[in-house]
Amino acid sequence: MVEENKEVRQRRQFFRYEHPAPIRYRFAKKVETAKYNVSPYFKGLGVDFSGNGAAFRATKPLPINTLVFLEMLFPFSHDPMMVTAEVVRRDEEEFRGKKISKIMVKYLVVDEEALNKLIGFVISRGKNTS
């Protein structure tokens, strides 16, 4: 039974849902041990979402390992899904004639009920990239 749940979890990680969701984000910059400065909110545009992370377009080129706080809106809820995530990759690209960053994050802290709704939503509409 444990192996089955592990396999399901691994499969879920590879399902992605491409959705141009508006997001708000802020990031934390470490200033000393256990102390961070938190930025004001910025607007971004979600690109794709999965059960373990997301990608979004942003005008700020966030460094790898940056902590990010995201508020994301989805059709299955009136309230934004709020997550704490870590930047794991960044690609530079052009979008509508402007240089922007495509930021890929992995979720670190997320409400389990909200995550389960997102996973169900992604699986019902997404595609498997494995």
Phi, psi for residue 104 in degrees, rounded to 5 = -110, 130
pLDDT(12) > 50: no
Each residue's pLDDT tens digit, 61-78: 899 999 999 999 887 788
CA distance 15 to 92: 24
Number of domains the chain is built from: 1
Range of the domain at 64: 16-123
- The answer to whether residue 102 is domain-embedded is yes
CA distance 40 to 32: 19
pLDDT-based confidence at 11, cuts 50/70/90? very low
CATH code at 32? 2.40.10.220
Q: Indicate if the alpha-carbon torsion angle 40, 119, 10, 126 is positive or negative.
A: negative
